[in-house]
Amino acid sequence: MLNQSIGAFIKYNTYPITDFIIVNDSGDEDIHRSIRETYTGAEFVFHEKNGGLFKSIDLAMPHIKTEYYFLCEDDWTLTAPGFIEKSMAIMKERPEIEEVWPQKFNIHDAEPAWLTAGGQRYQLITQFHLKGQDGPYGWHGFSTACSLKRVSDYWKVGPYSDIPWEGTVWMREQAIGEKYRLLGYRTAVLDGVYATSIGWGKAEYKPGNTGGGMYEGGN
């Protein structure tokens, strides 16, 4: 899946990228060696042992030198060009938007109104979505799946792995999203579909426990 995800990014990305950062959480030296040999121009963040998705992101963040970065887990693949430029145009005009999705994730609803910023149409993701969970676990739209983000926004609440949470990995996203909600942030989704999931149905796929790729760019 990592090869598929990176291949699609290279195929469809049209924005100048400063660095490719590949994070792998497996702790398997054979996998690390294979990744190094395959992606010779990338920067690598490898774990000695499995630490989880959010710990992986925390370890990668100090390596990013730009304000914007595109984060993509290895179970997502891009499908159309322009996703970074369009997302960045929105975020530059709307500093309260913490991330822009290239499509709606996990059947998470968007507010009905279409908005415009930087010449791009978008919708805001709904607040307090239960995401199939019982109890007070309103999900506010924070996701590590596939989106453009700001480094400065990360440091306002990160490291992510230090934020207390209870329950499944989805509630961990909820706990991080709650921190952003309290700061007044929202999540947006582009008008159009620029990505799709490739993880569902894979025998080796375990939601929330995969490694991923981080593509750094922006001003």
Encode pLDDT of 48-98 as tens digits.
888 888 999 999 999 999 999 999 999 999 999 999 999 999 999 999 999
Q: Supply the pLDDT for residue 49.
A: 82
**97-101, 183-187, 205-209: the lowest-pLDDT one:** 205-209
- Amino acid identity of residue 97, one-letter, is I
Q: Please check the confidence at residue 211 and state whether its pLDDT lies above 50.
A: no
The DSSP code for 133 is -
**φ, ψ for residue 169, nearest 5 deg:** -60, -30
Q: Supply the pLDDT for residue 134.
A: 54
CB-neighbour burial class of residue 160 (10 A; exposed 0-12, middle 13-18, buried 19+) = buried
Instruction: With both helix axes pointing from N to C terminus, report the angle between 169-182 and 53-60 in degrees, rounded to the nearest 10.
Output: 50
pTM: 0.87
Superfamily (CATH) of domain 2-217:
Spore Coat Polysaccharide Biosynthesis Protein SpsA; Chain A (3.90.550.10)
Q: Please check the confidence at residue 105 and state whether its pLDDT lies above 90.
A: no
Mean pLDDT of all residues belonging to the chain: 87
CA distance 184 to 61: 22
CA distance 188 to 115: 10
Residues whose CB falls within 8 Å of the CB of residue 55, separated by 6 or more in sequence, listed in order: 25, 47, 161
pLDDT digits (tens, 9 = 90+) for 6-38: 999 999 999 999 999 999 888 889 999 999 999
Q: Supply the pLDDT for residue 171.
A: 81
What average pLDDT does range 182-199 have in this prediction? 95
pLDDT digits (tens, 9 = 90+) for 106-119: 678 899 999 999 99
Q: Supply the pLDDT for residue 135.
A: 54
Residues whose CB falls within 8 Å of the CB of residue 184, separated by 6 or more in sequence, listed in order: 96
Rg for the chain, CA atoms, rounded: 16
What average pLDDT does range 117-139 have in this prediction? 80
Percent of the chain with pLDDT over 90: 68
